[in-house]
Structure 1
Amino acid sequence: MFKQSINSKISTLLEGCGDPKILTMCLIYLLAGAFAAVTKATGSVDTIVHLGLDLINSQYIYFGVFIIAAFLSVSTGTSVGAIVALAPIVIGFADTGDFSLGILCGALLGGSMFGDNLSVISDTTIAATQSLDCKMSDKFKANIKIALPAALVTIGILIYQGLSLQTDGTETVAYSYSILKIAPYVIVIVLSIIGINVFTTLMLGVISAGILGVFYGDFSIIEFTRISYTGFTNMTEIFLLSLLTGGLAALVAYNGGIEFILVKIKTLIRNQKTAQFGIAALVSTINTAIANNTVSIIISGSIAKSINDEYGLDNKQTASILDVFACITQGLLPYGAQVLMILSFANGNITYVDLVSNTWYLVLLLLSTTLFITFRNHPKNINEENALA
């Protein structure tokens, strides 16, 4: 398909696979996989769920589901993982009290996507920050300014919807857990926010989770290494996909494909605001086609970086916009993994329309991001200003 010799194509492919940004991304995936596997083995995921459920009054269950899903997703870096952990419990609430299954599932989906979008160990965050060459802590700080207003309004709506609930017949369940087991998540979140190197952060997270697991007798030191390796293998798919995507992107770039797309997009771009909307449209279109927010960011990342640099945009804000619109599209797709997972657990008791119409957060996030791009004042060239600072 490309006008190169076989040897030249292979050489270009391997150069793309070996790009430092791609390899960095892949190594972070491995450490994130180990962290997720070890914390699951220690029971840290169950601890977060049970702690949240233990502290929430029944009238605030909608708000509570959103908060627990958000924290769990931020901590583990996966919206699907949060949904798998919480969906059986959340759907069970509808059978034990006067709760709306549609609102419960909408809160679960919204909270999971909120956490996934902000998590510093999420595949999407890793892909976006590596593509735009910015720190995860900087991206988090920029992203929270966009996501937090939408989350706060969502929380207000969910609290209002829960005030009319009848709680007299709701069964109270006592959960057993150790608060210390959430320590690895706290360590990773705090270190990431203050800007500690991501490799150091994840290594400390894995080690602290391993120490807790050995201390509580959840596994031995030898089993800890095996579980960590299992975490590595759990990331094999996205690891290989990222490598091959990097190689394919290099082939496309070498043969002028990236430049062709840039030229087409630039015909619609007039200024910095339309440049950001162009990036949003690009990643949303790709994600609609492939239903994978991480891969859509990887594919569109190099184009977004070119537009970002040419129009003098802020790297961390562009990374946030890239991640946010991939998140919104993924959460609203009827054939996206998150939606399909929830509908599967609901076993036909709610429809796609019921779910999406109650997922306030994603709609409000779209509105918040659109307003942010439209009304924010853009300096002439933010990246040049940062370089001179």
Structure 2
Amino acid sequence: MEKPIKSNPFALIPFLIFILLFIGAGVVLGDFYQMPVLVAVFAAIFTALLMNRKASFQEKIGHLTKGGGHPDIILMVVIFLLAGAFASVAEGVGAVDSTVNLGLSLLPENLLMVGLFIICCFISISMGTSVGTIVALAPIGLGVAEQTDISLALTMGAIVSGAMFGDNLSVISDTTIASVRTQGTEMKDKFKANFFIVLPAAIITAVIFGVMTAGATSSIDEDTSFQIAKVLPYLGVLAFAVAGVNVIFVLIGGILFAGIVGLILGDISFMDFIQLVGEGFTGMQELAMLAILLGGLVELIRRNGGIAWLLEVFSGKINSARGGEAGIAGLVSAVNLSTANNTISIITAGPLAKQISERFGIDPKRSASMLDIFASAVQGLIPYGAQILAVAGVASLSPVEIMPYCIYPMLLVFCGLLAILFRFPKFTTRNSH
């Protein structure tokens, strides 16, 4: 059994180095491409390896590899690679162009972003994964931006926004499952409590995207021709997602389906298909390496006492139910900022949040909602989180350029804080602190 880890605020220094190098260099130099993200994370890892004299260097290397090899991290890597392959094959056979043209022919330009946001909400709540939703729909968002005068960063922000809506609410999302399990409540109760808090954020987000793209025009001629057969791979992915099929099967099925369509229509040969799959894998290699290295960095920070210190700080000065909810929100947000993984942050902060909720009579479904809402909101805003990194990779943009357009996560924070302030929606608590 692992020994209790002593809290240590200095353990967070490597993480601060990563942030300063990754974001600070971009601010100072005026170019966020000057500092390669892998160089920044390696500098942070090297700093973490030099800390904690009580552990040998070999032990610290073991912690690094254990964190990088965490099942959640490796699953994320597999999803990234498959998603890259699906996007590559879909583009290679013309599925992206046909899908975008279908959208352009059905929706006026000023409603494209609203439609894209709503579709992402629907898919993510059906699929249960924000990353899976993002990597499946980001190529379509890229195509929309290329064929209209809508900003590419805005398009990617709409996709991240919709993806985080479902990540926070889906009954098959790992974040939702983690929050419900750690708080000892029922899934349906948590969903109901959560839904009424986040619905206003989703509605206002749709309105904002509609206003921001009200004067949008198409930059192409009248040629919005499409082949419905080439749209089928995306429709297949969406159908399987709605049916609750595992995201791995969804993406593998999408790759094969897109390849078969391309082969039947004569757009690609079998070797072209293999090459496209390989190119998709290659395009996601940096993102996959980043996920593994960040996982290792987080484990080093945890072993050195950084996460334990965060847990102490956010549980210290609480003296009311409202303060307890604010403490839970702050705790899971801080842990998420440090781990860049909303599921891990909920699992980490969950037991302490349970203690806080029991002490101050906070209903379990409400504490579960606070955990999930603030973890998802922070995850959808941090430029080093998997969601923004994924869309940035597809769009060849800096993650920092996309952040201002992640409207829904911003409003999610605001609605969450209002829910704490006004104790909305009302629930009967176990005692009346």
Identify the TM-score tier after normalising by the shorter chain.
Answer: 0.5 to 0.7
Tell me the distance in 2 between the aligned counterparts of 1:362 and 1:113.
9
Give the counterpart of 2:346 among 272, 296, 304.
Answer: 304
Tell me the distance in 2 between the aligned counterparts of 1:117 and 1:144.
13
1:238-253 alignment to 2 at 5 Å?
A: 238-253=287-302
Range with bigger deviation, 263-272 or 153-162: 153-162
1:10-159 alignment to 2 at 5 Å?
A: 10-57=61-108, 61-68=109-116, 71=119, 77-78=134-135, 81=139, 84-91=142-149, 108=155, 111-118=158-165, 149-156=200-207
| Pair 1:282-2:340 in alignment | no
1:51 deviates by 1.2
CA gap 1:144/1:236 in 2 versus in 1, 3 angstroms:
farther
| Pair 1:8-2:55 in alignment | no
Query: 2:198·2:415 contact (CA, 8 Å) conserved in 1?
Result: yes
1:328 deviates by 4.4
TM-score by length of 1: 0.66
> Residue type of the partner of 1:176?
S
Tell me the distance in 2 between the aligned counterparts of 1:223 and 1:146.
48
- Could you list the per-position Cα deviations for residues 325-367 of structure 1 after superposition, in whole angstroms to 9, with x for gaps in the alignment? 3324659xxx99989x99x9xxxxxxx9xx96x9865654444
Query: 1:146·1:369 contact (CA, 8 Å) conserved in 2?
Result: yes
1:176 deviates by 0.7
- Unaligned segments of structure 2, at least 5 residues: 1-50, 124-131, 182-186, 355-363
- Could you list the per-position Cα deviations for residues 17-44 of structure 1 after superposition, in whole angstroms to 9, with x for gaps in the alignment? 2222222222222222212222222222
Taking only the aligned residue pairs, the percentage that are identical comes to 27
1:63 deviates by 2.3
Number of residue pairs matched by the alignment: 332
Query: 1:90·1:105 contact (CA, 8 Å) conserved in 2?
Result: no
CA gap 1:72/1:179 in 2 versus in 1, 3 angstroms:
farther
Query: 2:88·2:276 contact (CA, 8 Å) conserved in 1?
Result: yes
1:252-291 alignment to 2 at 5 Å?
A: 252-267=301-316, 273-279=325-331, 281-282=333-334
CA gap 1:62/1:371 in 2 versus in 1, 3 angstroms:
farther
> Residue type of the partner of 1:238?
L
- Unaligned segments of structure 1, at least 5 residues: 94-103, 287-295, 345-351, 382-389
TM-score by length of 2: 0.60
SS in 2 for 1:173: coil
Give the counterpart of 1:323 among 376, 379, 385.
Answer: 376
- Could you list the per-position Cα deviations for residues 304-345 of structure 1 after superposition, in whole angstroms to 9, with x for gaps in the alignment? 3221233236778744542333324659xxx99989x99x9x
CA gap 1:23/1:239 in 2 versus in 1, 3 angstroms:
same
- Could you list the per-position Cα deviations for residues 142-164 of structure 1 after superposition, in whole angstroms to 9, with x for gaps in the alignment? 8877665434344456668999x
Tell me the distance in 1 between the aligned counterparts of 2:429 and 2:146.
50
SS in 2 for 1:175: coil
| Pair 1:211-2:211 in alignment | no
Tell me the distance in 2 between the aligned counterparts of 1:206 and 1:309.
40
Query: 1:21·1:130 contact (CA, 8 Å) conserved in 2?
Result: no
Query: 2:175·2:346 contact (CA, 8 Å) conserved in 1?
Result: no
SS in 2 for 1:223: helix
Query: 1:128·1:297 contact (CA, 8 Å) conserved in 2?
Result: no
Tell me the distance in 1 between the aligned counterparts of 2:242 and 2:303.
37
Query: 1:258·1:303 contact (CA, 8 Å) conserved in 2?
Result: no
Query: 1:66·1:110 contact (CA, 8 Å) conserved in 2?
Result: no
1:56 deviates by 2.6
Tell me the distance in 2 between the aligned counterparts of 1:82 and 1:308.
36
1:191-202 alignment to 2 at 5 Å?
A: 191-202=240-251
1:377-388 alignment to 2 at 5 Å?
A: none
Query: 1:70·1:112 contact (CA, 8 Å) conserved in 2?
Result: no
CA gap 1:297/1:144 in 2 versus in 1, 3 angstroms:
farther
Q: Report the equivalent of 1:375.
A: 424
